[in-house]
Structure 1
Amino acid sequence: MITSSPLLPCRIAVYKAIYPTIGTLTDVVSAIDQAVRDGVDILTLSVGPDEPPEDTITFLDVFEIFLLFARRAGVLVVQAAGNKGPGPKTVVSFSPWAVGVAACSTDRSYPATLILGNGQRIGGVGLSGPTFGNGVIQYKLVLAKDAAKVINGEFPKAAPYTEECQYPEAFDPIVVLGSVVICTFSDGFYNGTSTLTAIIDTARTLGFIGFVLVANPIYGDFVAEPIPFPVPGIMIPRMADSQVISRYYEQQTRRNERGCIEHYGGRAAIAEGRVASFKQRAPIVSRFSSRGPNIIDEHRNPADVLKPDILAPGQQVWAAWSPMSVLDPILKGNSFALLSGTSMAAPHVAGIAALIKQSNPSWTASMIASAMSTTATKYDNYGESIRAEDYDLVTLTPSTAFDIGAGLVNPSRAIDPGLVFSPGEGEYVAFLCSLPNVDPGTVEATTGGSCNHPLSHPSDLNLPSVTVTALAGSQVLHRTVKNVQSVSETYLCSVLPPAGVKVEVSPTWFTVDPNGEQIVEIKLSVTRVIDDFSFGEIVLTGSLNHIVRVPLSFLPVS
């Protein structure tokens, strides 16, 4: 929760509602209610529902209604979009009165390298120091399952414990002492019972010079994040790289006719992995970041509200960490950790919102949200359209509004957006009343509002985006823009139409006075029925160099 003042630095108020053992909806909404009572300006929530609510529409869930009450009190609600990507309909930030934030990478990485005895260099992940000699001195390379201890013809620990390096007693200590040991990502890591902490404990106990955690052909590539290892270590999450290591190891290892090792000929070293590099393409939408379209019910029917709203850095973010580290012993004693998730992305947007509020103290929460949306960028540091990670961690696909919302948040432009879109008093309730199959009495009882004047269509809510989930024939929508400058400006309207839809904006140009408003009519006509959503945008280009972008997401149906 953040509060700001035009005369004072931003102040942060923290409300603890989630504990290591339990987190209840009651505690969370109580914290939200208390923050609103305390007068915060911005509420950042790195929490949300695991699944859509049962037996009600998503927007009428208790959690969402408390967020509506916060917005009604003038609080900007910023919420993590969820970490269930990259599949569609996985967002857990549903409501138009909350800013749902997706996560992306930055251009910073921490490259780690495994150097094989033949000179091959294999890139991997691991925020650790090098083996002694910083890669120049090579050490014996041992596959964990080849170093298993045998007592009376039996193994004290069976696979996957041996190959995953989870227990020191599973190994012949003479074989692994002073060696670089290859551990394998197997069943234990896949189901969550094995840990990196256990590998480190094994390495320390038995005197590994370093360890390598490689991908398993059975499970394919795995997700690896840089973690500060207290011993030299590296993770090789891609199968292609793992196979290179495996081939080298087998070529250098001599076995007898029974398959037992007679000579370990492979050598390896781990290079320094703690030095940052700033050469990556960025931003790239993170694989885990939840995707749209937004959903309206437990059956995951799409909703006429764009989600996520915006994109922000959320992958490998340095963040404060409790040294107690109850849930992750590997980070115990550290005050910072390198973390990933939309929970890391949401605070970026909350901080930017605080800066905007400080520069424009009279702006409402909706105006701030609009300013960030309409000034966001769709392009990366290569000048190309932002791309998104897919399931296989290798393929990058062109992003859509269901990956990035309006785009990557741009703080410097958001402070001076030119125009803003801001729903009027009671418009969120009117939106709820316009939803299909909704009971007006339920809306009124839940929100305390009135359904006397519902919107003609849910898409008529005055948002800085337009989403229609079943566009048939023609439909006319309206948006009202407000000039937040102290001077008049003339805007020219242009359209990048989505496939299958003709978009006409009227008026095609207009001049709006300081603090003045302009109604814009948007006529949509289906020209071709297609099987999936198509995307475009309306661009309002101002005579004083303001550019206002409005994302379009339509599903044209017959």
Structure 2
Amino acid sequence: MECFTPFRLLYLLLVLSIAMSASMAEDLGTYIIHMDKSTMPMTFSSHHDWYLSMLSSMSSSDGVHPTHLYTYNHVLDGFSAVLSREHLDQLEKMPGFLAIHADTFGRFHTTRSPTFLGLDKNAAGSWPEGKFGEDVIIGIIDTGIWPESESFKDKGMGPVPDRWRGACESGVEFNSSYCNRKLIGARSFSKGLKQQGLIISTSDDYDSPRDFFGHGTHTASTAAGSPVRDANYFGYAKGTAIGIAPKARLAAYKVLFTNDSDISAASDTLAGMDQAIADGVDLMSLSLGFEETTFEQNPIAVGAFAAMEKGIFVSCSAGNSGPEGYTMLNGAPWITTIGAGTIDRDYAADVTFGGGILTIRGRSVYPENVLVSNVSLYFGHGNRSKELCEDFALDPKDVAGKIVFCYFNQSGGVSQVREVDRAGAKGAIISSDSEFFNFPSFFFIPLVVVTPKDGDLVKDYIIKSENPVVDVKFLITVLGSKPAPQVAFFSSRGPNNRAPMILKPDVLAPGVNILAAWAPKVALTRVGDNRLLTDYTLLSGTSMSSPHAVGVAALLKSAHPDWSSAAIRSALMTTAYLLDNTIGSIIDMDTGVAATPLDFGAGHINPNMAMDPGLIYDIEVQDYINFLCGLNYTSKQIKIISRRSKFTCDQANLDLNYPSFIVLLNNNTNTTSYTFKRVLTNVVDSPSVYRASVKQPSGMKVNVQPSMVFFAGKYSKAEFNMTVEINLGYARPQSEYIGNFGYLTWWEVNGTHVVKSPIVSAFAL
């Protein structure tokens, strides 16, 4: 028998206590609880008090009490809390309980772009007509804000609108005095993350609205930054940085924290959206996404529905999981979902060989004006490993002080640049047409990327020369580059998994190498071992495209304050353009061939045309509920999303009055027919007549009835039906998930308005 001394007994009790504590901690979780507030007893003065009373009444055998996090007043009826399994069992039996969802996590998905979008303060168009977004309030749900940035100065701005109910919170390295007439609000939401064990320290992030990483600062300044002269990225993209709606007000809601995981908790995101609605924002932009689930489990979809009901336009990034199909995020039909495209600005270096024998312009974003003159070239000719600059292929004795020429290795990219750097070479020239070299972070050594065609010329020069040498001139910004726009290779593609009968993304907006404000303590690039800090940086992602779209929407909202969110989205979609600056079809950067509506939606946003669309496809709140009924959502699911206790599904309908059309195909059948029913609304002051025309590919037959519609005046309506027949026996599919596509266009008779919508056939998963 083992003998227990007092010390050993104390030790075992301590171990047991630690084990029990660990077990209890593992049993706890953060949850979002949906309640039916119509069942609240009359004895409570508020829902908040009701929720707290419920939590305080819960018992637990381990003595752990529930912890309340947030009460939601707008985005949903309910609250979030830290609960044990015993608490969950008790909660599910309480009157008014609807549903519970475990907290989940989302991740975040710059300025030549105003000019590229056709915005000009000295000409007619969206800027003067939209009053530059004056007094419209944009809520940016992101990583916070760097308030000292020149992009958030309030010079020339009038008083904050009286309807604003927000606040500027103080916190770690953030004071309420940082807000002004431009940045009118700043708040932070981190309770959910903290309950997951995230420790927010100044070495990882700020427990305040201050932006540690820079992402939120970048998106906010893109949407509504004040003009800043001579902004640039280490000499590239010099010019005046200005937001799309430069006179709009900004409110920052920090829900993303960068720690080790760069994540946002669903409970925090909902709290941020809830507060933005309460504060009185007119529009929201979210450059983040959560895993695709049914809509009632997706915090952004739930929050955006509540915002839509109150007339708040919500723009979201489509995600960066392209180029494959069915990779869309934020696909709820009440959200305007934005894909990413390029703009007509590129960054270059001029490379001269042999003192003038050959000169080539290649891509470069190397952030220093270094002298590369009469430097020897190295090429591992005859050794494939060295030609590709593969890992440890280069001998430092061979390449020291030289420029290395490499052919791109499909599995290489940044690893090739690192190999050149490791071997101690002066720099590199890489022959590649890979889209990966669009990112500035690759250019941490003197690097120039040339096309494969030019690369062959370089190789030929090196082989034929006894002493190959090169000169390089960096810091060249190219304006008017062609073709542009192109669909970014990373931009997520449609259809959307959860509602494939709605074409997504909705539109394309600038999202590649966008210059905008940044947190100056954060280095995204380096030269050698030196990390470089900057006030303005180039970033790529659909994160950059969403604030462009919300900025344009702010201009429309300012010019048309009575328009619904659906009306604004319709104007953006039906006026979007389909041709690039070579007057050719918009190209998919990944394939090099024409893109499809499942890549770019209705096309690339065109702010000046969107200001006066002629006709719109409007959608009421009840239409969305009918759509959810059509998806066979249960009454509980619909109640969670809509917060309605009473509704019927008598008019279930998957055919929303959307400005685009998609026919889902079954791989087992060759022929499919579907009839769409739509209602058009006239938004000009005079009567008008429109005639329908259809561009249809082989294998697609489209019939529109009536083919001519009449409008008596502003806000008058006209209905039409469109039947689409698809015969795959006559049409070769475009890809494994898209069949064919065409366009329906309504032309104004004796007028100038053109209202265009894509018609797409796609294979269902």
Give TM class, smaller chain: 0.7 to 0.9
Alignment counterpart, residue 448 of structure 1, candidates 643, 661, 672: 643
What's 2:151 paired with? Answer: none
Q: Is the 8 A contact 1:81 1:102 kept in 2?
A: yes
Partner of 2:112 in structure 1? Answer: none
1:474-521 CA-to-partner distances (Å, cap 9, x unmatched) read 433211111112211111122223543322222221221212112222
The answer to whether the aligner puts 1:380 opposite 2:580 as a matched pair is yes
* 1:331-371 alpha-carbon deviations (Å, 9 max, x no partner): 73211112222212211111111111111112111111111
Instruction: Please state whether the residue corresponding to 1:95 is helix, strand or coil.
Output: coil
TM-score, normalised to structure 1's length?
0.79
Q: Which moved more, 1:99-108 or 1:238-247?
A: 238-247
Q: 1:406 aligns with which of 602, 618, 629?
A: 602
Q: Cα distance, 1:62 vs. partner?
A: 3.1
Which residue in the other structure is 1:493 paired with? 692
3-state DSSP of counterpart to 1:48: strand
- Residues 540 and 176 of structure 1: CA distance in aligned 2, closer, same or farther (over 3 Å): same
Report the counterpart of residue 25 of structure 1 in structure 2: 265
Aligned residue in 1 for 2:281: 40
Q: Aligned runs of 1:419-498 on 2, under 5 Å?
A: 419-435=615-631, 437-449=632-644, 452-453=648-649, 455-458=651-654, 460-470=655-665, 473-498=672-697
Give the Cα–Cα distance (whole angstroms) in 1 for the partners of residues 377 and 287 of structure 2. 42
Verify: 1:126 aligned to 2:364, yes or no: yes
Q: Secondary structure at the match of 1:271?
A: strand
Distance (whole Å) between structure 2 residues aligned to residue 52 and residue 193 of structure 1: 32
User: Could you tell me how far apart the structure 2 residues matched to 1:279 and 1:61 are?
Assistant: 39
Per-residue deviation, 1:308: 0.9
Q: The residue matched to 2:544 in structure 1 has which SS? A: helix
Structure 2 equivalent of residue 154 of structure 1: none
From the superposition, tell whether residues 70 and 4 of structure 1 become closer, same or farther in structure 2 (CA, over 3 Å): farther
Cα deviation 1:412-467 (Å, max 9, x = unaligned): 111111111111132112111101x5434322344324562365541x11111112
User: Where do 1:497-508 residues align within 5 Å?
Assistant: 497-508=696-707
Shift of 1:114: 2.6
Mapped contact 1:131–1:269 kept (Cα < 8 A): no
Aligned-partner residue type, residue 482 of structure 2: Q
| 1:551 to 2:741 alignment | no
Q: CA deviation at 1:536?
A: 1.4
What are the equivalent positions in structure 2 for 1:325-344 lying under 5 Å apart? 325=522, 328=525, 332-344=532-544
Confirm or deny: 8 A CA contact 2:441 2:524 kept in the other structure: no
The question of 1:211 aligning with 2:427 is answered: yes
Alpha-carbon offset, residue 116 of structure 1 = 2.4
Measured in 2, the distance between the counterparts of 1:214 and 1:236 equals 5
Aligned to 1:180: 403
> Contact 1:418–1:548 at 8 Å: present in 2 too?
yes
Structure 2: which amino acid aligns with 1:502?
K
- In 2 relative to 1, CA 291–347 (structure 1 residues): closer, same or farther, beyond 3 Å? same
Change (3 A) 1:184 1:477: closer
Partner of 1:305: 502
Unaligned runs of 5+ in 1: 147-157, 164-169, 254-264, 297-301
Asked if structure 1 preserves the Cα contact closer than 8 Å seen for 2:672 and 2:726, the reply is: yes
Q: Which has the higher contact order (CA 8 A, sep 6+)?
A: 1
- For residues 38 and 498 of structure 1, the distance between their equivalents in structure 2, rounded to whole angstroms, comes to 49
Q: For residues 411 and 19 of structure 1, what CA distance do their matches in structure 2 show?
A: 33
Matched, 1:322 2:322: no
Is contact 1:501-1:527 (8 Å) kept?
yes
Is residue 233–residue 270 contact of structure 1 (8 Å, CA) maintained in 2? no
Q: CA deviation at 1:294?
A: 2.0
1:549 to partner: Cα distance: 0.9
Amino acid at match of 1:140: S
Distance 1:175 1:445, change over 3 A: closer
For the aligned residue pairs, the C-alpha RMSD in angstroms reads 3.6
What is the aligned counterpart of 1:72 among 309, 320, 328?
309
CA contact (8 A) 1:498 1:554 kept: no
Q: Is the 8 A contact 2:347 2:365 kept in 1?
A: yes
* CA contact 1:160–1:188 (8 Å) conserved in 2: no
Structure 2: distance between partners of 1:61 and 1:124: 44
Contact 2:269 2:299 in 1 (8 A): no
Question: Counterpart of 2:292?
Answer: 52
Shift of 1:322: 1.5
Q: Structure 2 vs 1, CA of residues 477 and 187 (structure 1 numbering), >3 Å: closer, same or farther? A: closer
Q: CA separation in 1, counterparts of 2:280 and 2:696?
A: 42
Q: Secondary structure at the match of 1:86?
A: coil
Contact 1:85 1:291 in 2 (8 A): yes
Task: Name whichever of 92-101 and 520-529 sits farther off.
Answer: 520-529
Amino acid at match of 1:349: A
Structure-2 change in CA distance of 1:222 and 1:238 (3 Å):
farther
**Alpha-carbon distance in 2 for matches of 1:175, 1:533:** 51
> Which residue, 739, 742, 746 being the options, matches 1:536?
742
| TM-score, length basis structure 2 | 0.59
CA change 1:17–1:235 in 2 (3 A) is: farther
Which letter maps to 1:390? D
CA deviation string 1:32-59 (max 9, x = no partner): 222222111111111113x423xxx357
Match of 1:520 among 720, 723, 738: 720
Which consecutive unaligned segments of at least 5 residues does structure 2 have?
1-131, 137-156, 159-246, 383-388
Give the equivalent residue in structure 2 for 1:361: 561
Moved more, 449-458 or 540-549: 449-458
Query: CA 1:408 to 1:334, structure 2 compared with 1: closer, same or farther past 3 Å?
Result: same
- Cα distance in 1 between the residues matched to 2:598 and 2:273: 27
Structure showing greater Rg:
2
Compute the displacement of 1:248 (Å).
4.5
CA distance in 1, matches of 2:702, 2:763: 12
Q: What are the residue-to-residue correspondences of 1:96-175 with 2, within 5 Å?
A: 96-117=333-354, 119-128=357-366, 131-132=370-371, 137-142=373-378, 160=391, 163=394, 171=396
Question: Is residue 222–residue 238 contact of structure 1 (8 Å, CA) maintained in 2?
Answer: no
How many pairs are equivalent? Answer: 498
Counterpart of 1:287?
489
CA offset at residue 224 of structure 1? 0.8
1:13 equivalent in alignment to 2:143? no
- Per-residue CA shift, 1:376-401, capped at 9, x if unaligned? 1111222222222225xxxx211211
Secondary structure of residue in 1 paired with 2:350: strand
Give the secondary structure class of the aligned counterpart of 1:293. coil
Structure 1 position 237, deviation (Å): 6.3
Residue 304 of structure 1 deviates from its aligned partner by 0.2
In the TM superposition, residue 121 of structure 1 has moved relative to its aligned partner by: 3.1
User: Cα gap change, 1:325/1:99 in structure 2, threshold over 3 Å: closer, same or farther?
Assistant: same
Q: C-alpha separation between the residues in 2 aligned to 1:127 and 1:556? A: 40
> In structure 2, what residue type is equivalent to 1:379?
L
Find the aligned partners of 2:353 and 2:507 in 1 and give their Cα distance: 43
Following TM superposition, by how much is the alpha carbon of 1:405 offset from its aligned partner in structure 2, in angstroms?
A: 0.7
Moved more, 334-343 or 8-17: 8-17
Q: What is the one-letter code of the residue matched to 2:508?
A: L
Report if aligned partners of 2:339, 2:542 keep a CA contact under 8 Å in 1.
yes
8 Å contact kept, 1:500–1:526: yes
One-letter amino acid of the structure 2 residue matched with residue 5 of structure 1: D
Aligned to 1:418: 614
Whole-Å Cα distance in 1 between the matches of residues 292 and 762 of structure 2? 22
Task: Tell whether the 8 Å contact from 1:114 to 1:234 is kept in structure 2 after alignment.
Answer: no
Identity %: 27
Alpha carbons of 1:89 and 1:455: their partners in 2 closer, same or farther (altered >3 Å)?
A: farther
In structure 1, C-alpha distance between the alignment counterparts of 2:329 and 2:404, rounded to whole Å: 41
